[in-house]
Structure 1
């Protein structure tokens, strides 16, 4: 197997380089390291990666160099790797703001990794953290670089393939697909999803694999909607929901129905959208999850304000969210703070339509982007529509030049998604403001 052979060569080269470096640091000759156990020529072959040392040979060389065998291998044992992963994950969950330190610690650990499962998990988690950091802090400093995550992700995939761990290979592939999707590379995302689904046909149909197939169908639907194929997207959502019900896998049930609501509202099928809203209501009640309840109310407020043009009702829903929000405990502060920003934003849109611009402008957020918002094309559109609402506020305040500028920004940003109601709204706002100028 090619992967196995390449891993053996990497291992031999890795060991040999370390032996040579330590020997030269200690100013020892090949003969001195060889001693009576082997020939100097054999030591040279090991140093140059031409042969693999046995455990006994490695122990002898380590003794001659007065170092531990582990120092020559440069690797942490599996128990140590598990401790590192557990420690850093706990740190991240408790203090997400320390992500840079966690990434640096992981980077320092990379040279000590091997080709075992624990090493692959660390490579994979390192890749995910690098991408998460890029998404959250892009443009803030030189620490964040695009595509840093690709190499460790591919390394994790290589080890999983070597260990014949198909499920984990799929997870890494799905991560790389989600990276493409988050960058709005929808055509490439569709291509990669079809390739992975074909690859998965040869795998055993475990529950986890079926769940991953459902998620891929969801991402496929979202990508199709990103290029304007809304009817095709809805068909894919219905397929995913059908499989989820048949297999009793509801990991993405809420997300699927929410997407279905958006797709149907955007093509004017409000009655079908309401049916999916009813399913969301049932699921949220069944789950008894406070955050899910808040999310459900927040999307309802948006639908009421934007698609049904009922800002008073939407504002009442926002007030209900505030009441529920105060009862929510047991979640880390940054999660609740992030959610609170989205409530402010929705209230700002309501006040705009209720012609209370001063209240609205104080609530808009410049960058409404966080891990609580999906990268669906409609979500991206919703973030950009803020400029249209602010334009209306400025127009109501008589600040016409600022209103035109904001309205033009909205149209420019949303022209990537011309098939959405958000784009049509942005164009209408611009037309109306220019007509009043």
Structure 2
């Protein structure tokens, strides 16, 4: 961490000035040398004079880190920082980012680059479970507010609300999102289109998390309609996925077909195979869970397993096991159900409930194979997991299996 004298010497050399050239007529070369070597402290008048000769603001000399240094750090951090599906590898990268910013975070000046560094530091610290992220996030928000950067302030409000979501405080998170939205709408009257869609997206997720499918659909549809009106594709794929999945829960085949087709068209437009796989995943889930067309589901699963190896574990192994069970292929179903691993970063009750079905299906398979003890164990695991969840079809199914195995 450079001292005041070291910062003056560094800037002088960067500008190609000698001690005499910087000292000019108002400072002696000897006094400037003492200042640079931290053997004398300049008066505010001398500091203003030196800053003027260096063509910078005197506040930059008082700051422990130069603008150039902060901008360089931010550039390095932005190149490392990714907003992606959470994973252990991503958390390792976040820890690297936290270490890079740690030295600077408490002495950053009041400027955009500092706010962005503090925001990234807070986000990475939260996901990496490192203490201190709240105070840094508050400082970032204060700077954004002071600079009248409304969208950036809104981003912090959304992030703060979604930390409650990841900690499964769903009602609290919904209230926070709604209150934040009201604050920003009152301040700017009309939200930036992308920020409006962010609020819509998260509000719909949180409505569904508390089991209010009706309001979740209302917000989703409003957001989709708004996207069409504004010709904005931001979050459209996520909204189609949410709407399609909600349609499966509601057993609304017409609405499910509509959103799956929209998702496929959008995937084709972007040439995005992963998005297409998600559309198939919604269809497969409907076939297995609602219409019980197991052979058809299995056919679509196999087609995807051949194309999307990197996402098959998460999307298709459980559904493959369910399809095989439905087809009476119990040994094969057991193999696929055991392959399924639940992603540890799931937080939405829909996602959690769906994946808790694994143990219920294992209980059914073991019962068919004559291993009643294993069936009892897995039925109990499924019951314990599902009990805190909302009354979705998955909970009814799991409790029915539990009663069946224990009867």
User: TM-score normalized by structure 1?
Assistant: 0.72
Shift of 1:176: 0.9
Question: What does residue 237 of structure 2 align with?
Answer: 254
1:87 maps to which of 72, 76, 80: 76
Question: What does residue 138 of structure 2 align with?
Answer: 154
Q: Distance in 2 between matches of 1:283 and 1:360?
A: 33
Structure 2, unaligned runs of 5 or more: 5-30, 33-40, 51-58
2:299 maps to which of 313, 316, 321: 316
Shift of 1:91: 4.0
1:198 maps to which of 174, 182, 193: 182
Q: Are positions 1:126 and 2:126 aligned together?
A: no
Structure 1, unaligned runs of 5 or more: 1-17, 20-35, 38-46, 48-52, 61-68, 134-143, 327-335
- How many residue pairs get aligned? The number is 359
**Judging changes above 3 Å, is the alpha-carbon distance between structure 1 residues 214 and 56 closer, same or farther for their aligned structure 2 residues?**
same
Contact kept? 2:247, 2:256, Cα under 8 Å: yes
Question: What does residue 178 of structure 1 align with?
Answer: 162
Q: Distance in 1 between matches of 2:202 and 2:315?
A: 23
The one-character-per-residue Cα deviations of 1:312-358 (angstroms, maximum 9, x if unpaired) are 222221221123226xxxxxxxxx3x554433333233333334444
Contact kept? 2:81, 2:94, Cα under 8 Å: yes
The one-character-per-residue Cα deviations of 1:283-302 (angstroms, maximum 9, x if unpaired) are 22222112212222233222
Q: Distance in 1 between matches of 2:46 and 2:339?
A: 64
2:105 maps to which of 93, 103, 110: 110
Contact kept? 2:267, 2:276, Cα under 8 Å: yes
Secondary structure of 1:385's counterpart equals: helix
Q: Distance in 2 between matches of 1:162 and 1:360?
A: 59
Contact kept? 2:313, 2:339, Cα under 8 Å: no
Q: Are positions 1:187 and 2:171 aligned together?
A: yes
Shift of 1:161: 0.7
**Judging changes above 3 Å, is the alpha-carbon distance between structure 1 residues 198 and 341 closer, same or farther for their aligned structure 2 residues?**
closer
The one-character-per-residue Cα deviations of 1:101-120 (angstroms, maximum 9, x if unpaired) are 33222222313422211111
Contact kept? 1:217, 1:236, Cα under 8 Å: yes
Contact kept? 1:224, 1:233, Cα under 8 Å: yes
User: TM-score normalized by structure 2?
Assistant: 0.77
Q: Distance in 2 between matches of 1:127 and 1:362?
A: 42
Contact kept? 2:210, 2:390, Cα under 8 Å: no
Secondary structure of 2:343's counterpart equals: coil
Question: What does residue 7 of structure 2 align with?
Answer: none
Shift of 1:125: 0.9
Question: What does residue 354 of structure 1 align with?
Answer: 327
Shift of 1:165: 0.7
Shift of 1:148: 4.3
Question: What does residue 244 of structure 1 align with?
Answer: 227
Shift of 1:410: 1.8
Q: Distance in 1 between matches of 2:319 and 2:45?
A: 65
